[in-house]
Structure 1
Amino acid sequence: MQALELPLLVDRLTESVDSARVESTRRARRQALNLIAPVISEEISDRGLALWALNMQADGYSVSTIAFYLKVISAMMTEIGEPNEAFLQVRRKLSGAADSSAMSFDALKKMISELSSDVEGNTLGADLTLMAILWGGLRPKEVLSLEFGESYDSIAPLQSINEKYKRPRARKLFPIASAREIAMRIRGILRRYGLEAESDSLWALAALKAEVAPEEILSVLGHVPAGLSLLGLFDAAETDATERLSTLEIVADSLADNPFRWYAMQLRRGEDYETIAELSGLEAQNLYYPSREVTRRVGRRLTVSTRPFLPGVVFFRMRPSDVAPLFRKIGSRAWVYRQTASAQSPYAVISPAEMMAFQLAVGVLIDRTAAPAEMHPGDTVEIIGGDFRGLCATIQSTAPNVYRLLLPALNGIPWQIDTSPHLLRPL
């Protein structure tokens, strides 16, 4: 197949648009070119055009419209002397394909975000919907056969559902008797968000938006979903259980409005930070327990000890959906601050601005990966964090992580202090 250079090809196709004598033809050619130009690579292939057609269907275009645009571009390619069989091959494969169902990725993402935000308070229908979509577009019969298992733990909302429905001597995950009832409950939730497609089509749409290859989508589903019939242009890839789970996680992350946020926990009496930091579910890089060194004289000796600024208060960074499951496990050792004193009140979220203000106030920064501004001995700087915040000083010497400063005379006495370069701003 002949390689085609994109800029030259688009220029020549544009000339073909302008050369059309009939206005309706020019309009159709211009629209077709605008749609397909971004996806033309150095070589136009059957797969590349099939992927373009599939994405067009996911965006709501009918199969007949997609076929029409392929016909228009194919005619233009022939007109400029660059005929390509790929257009004809893909058009033939579109014959008989069904149009997509009513699907909106924005509506789908809104639904998943809202249902995932409060699994504890969800209805059974909401939990069935989450499981059906996030676990790979399950059909009602497949949802009915689900059992409890640790495999759900990598997808936070599903982990919460798994724990929520655990019952003595129960083997099936959901307390429901028929696939028909499951279908009815899921349909009720979907229609609330204006979604008419089945869960397999919705998961396929989300996977496509997350840039999962069509072949991998088919591998997870095991069939072509009715709502995205053009997936039938591809063959399923061979994937194992680990690869399947990885795909499910990628799609779930793309749907969840579940970013990391800062919270604060209070350690219970007898607990210490070192013990809490070793617990499963808490990553060291997502914990913040600011402390400072305190020097005391004991007899004739000077002793140095570490004291936290807020004893027993540990700041932690976590996805909202992970907080409740974690503290169900460690609630006997610590509790999370809430917006009010009520146990039903939402957990108190600390904004990034508030966290930064606190870090600067105590002079202990969480993230020092960003390089500080370039400064040298003799430079005048402003201290922007810690006990001497707001004062100006002169740099005496520098080391990789500590700068020695000379402060102006305080009460007639010049001071020398060591501080992090991240807490300094050049003047």
Structure 2
Amino acid sequence: MEDILAARLQMALSLGFHIVFACIGMVMPFFMAASHLLWIKTGNDIYKNLTKAWSKGVAIFFATGAVSGTVLSFELGLLWPTFMKHAGPIFGMAFSLEGTAFFIEAIALGFFLYGWNIFNRWFHWFTGVVVGLSGLASGILVVSANAWMNSPAGFDFVNGEYINIDPIAAMFNDAWVSQSIHMTIAAFAATGFAVAGVHAAMIYQQKNVRFHMKAFKIAGVFAAIASLLQPLSGDHSAKDVAVRQPAKLAAMEAHFHTERGADLIVGGIPNVREKTVDHAIKLPGMLSWLAFGDTEAEVKGLNDIPENYHPPVAVVHYAFQVMVGIGGMLALISLLFFVALKKSQWLTQKWFLILFTLATPLGFIAVEAGWTVTEVGRQPWIIYGVMKTADAVTPMPGIAWSFYLFTTVYLSLSFVVVYLLHRQIKVVPIIYDKTVAP
């Protein structure tokens, strides 16, 4: 295996693993805080027990996310030293602030986990909210750094030198708003459907139904709202990419030829050699409208971009189709969920519970596909238009062995997390339901 391929695969594995825990760390504390608030308002102990159960899940994911995130920070320096040498001083402020947010999150989580019957109820609830807000800030700051790679700002590149560095301008680059909004909503949708799906499975099995139904409703509301907002965010992101990264948009849509009134491609198999897309559904003028709000607007094709600057079209196109397809499915399920809240008998129907159970992993599959579009679609650049990925990789040999080692570590961590979560879900009725004997 070539070193650059091994380095990219290791980074992809690390990011793909970490992003799941990052999403959950950003979102689950808000579920926990919502349940906690309902307990304070209603006095119903089921909400208190649910809050305690979810807080243990938050702790598990926080610990795993901290480990995988720390590994990522080392990998940036070890695998991409040239990139970090030049880019570190420019976007380092975002990572520094992210570290601060992480420490606040850790302190607040400690207060929340051990503050039962010690703190005032409202202060205790507030510490849970701080866990969520700091986790959300942490995620947005990391996305800001990634957005900078897609839309470099805050420096002048003159004769191979990075001068006039402005970390504030780098952090608030042109891409950070669209990427942060899109990622945040995606995190709520993915985590919401995952949590709702687990509780739907428990309801289907008739295990502690009252407990799991309340959890299902809370997670479902967050998931449904986020999934219905996501198409709006996606439209904003697509318009942003069309202006800043035309090669990425062309790869996403397998759009080979510059034209006015460009068709939107649904599905299809890109044929890079022939510059065509086979077996696709074409919606006339819709790509022009989605990119620029005008069905007759000109959309730049890959034919007007030097071939050595083309992203891998097939990978980006398929990933984009997966992301959009799942997003549409989750939006439809979300509409059904709101109907079910009106027709309460649906909430216990087997078909409805099976539907949500099957949807459990879909949000995270969409998140992984979305990050594939973002990262692979930027290639061959690590800093768009400034530094190529091949120029940033470490010259040290043996990166393939590092990739094999980290793959083993991440697989081991995955088994540990799955075991801990399975154990936690299994003991919930015993610990928190007074009607079930130990």
Q: As a proportion of its length, which structure holds more strand?
A: 1
**Whose relative contact order is higher, 1 or 2, with alpha carbons under 8 Å and at least 6 apart?**
2
Larger radius of gyration: 1
Q: TM-score per shorter chain, which class? A: under 0.3
TM-score, normalisation: structure 1? 0.20
